[in-house]
Amino acid sequence: MDATSNNTELCDIAIIGGGPVGAALALALGGSPLKICVLEARAANAASTDARALALSYGSRLLLERLAVWDKIRDVSAIRTIHISQKQSFGRALLRAGEMNVPELGYVLPYPALQDALTDALQCGTVARIYGASVTRLAGEADHALIGYQQGGVDHTLRTRLAVV
């Protein structure tokens, strides 16, 4: 990321949010010649306290394999059958992985397991990460976007060709 005067930084693509979707996008773009920046509200060393479980599709697994993070995710449980019904209604649907020609329909895993694997993979790349950034403004201009954010009580501006929210 390049810096100019008055706390203004420059990048090609700015991703607001370093959760699983933002981190996966940053990883996918990380090998390009573009300057990629992720603005993350959490502190750099903040442990995830999010106790949610996530359900991911088989297609999501394929993407995470291409990003070389799937094998680093712990505590994954496969979904091989899905039973769909509605209480007090007639009928049901039963989906089986074998009938769909996939090994599994999806997976259940802890949010921190996915987030940690993605964050660790980003450590090795060229993506700039701005932790502790609280976005305060997003404005579109003719050929760029301006993202205003605060970090440590200091106002900053990020000028980017594309802002992903």
70-104 tens-digit pLDDT: 999 999 999 999 999 998 888 899 999 999 999 99
Structure tokens at 39: 């603005």
pTM above 0.85, yes or no: yes
133-148 tens-digit pLDDT: 999 999 999 999 999 9
103-142 tens-digit pLDDT: 999 999 999 999 999 999 998 888 999 999 999 999 999 9
**Is residue 18 pLDDT above 70, yes or no?**
yes
CATH of the domain at 83: 3.50.50.60
Residue 47 is predicted with a pLDDT of 63
**Is residue 157 pLDDT above 60, yes or no?**
yes
How far is Cα 48 from Cα 27, in angstroms, rounded to an integer?
19
Residue type, 163: A
Residue 88 is predicted with a pLDDT of 86
- Range(s) of the domain holding residue 110: 2-164
**Is residue 154 pLDDT above 70, yes or no?**
yes
Strands (E), the chain: 2-3, 8-16, 36-40, 53-57, 77-79, 81-85, 92-96, 106-110, 128-131, 133-140, 145-151, 154-164
Residue 120 is predicted with a pLDDT of 93
Residue 60 near residue 54, CB atoms below 8 Å: no
Helix segments in the chain, DSSP class H: 20-29, 58-66, 111-123
Residue 57 near residue 105, CB atoms below 8 Å: yes
Per the structure, the count of domains in the chain is 1
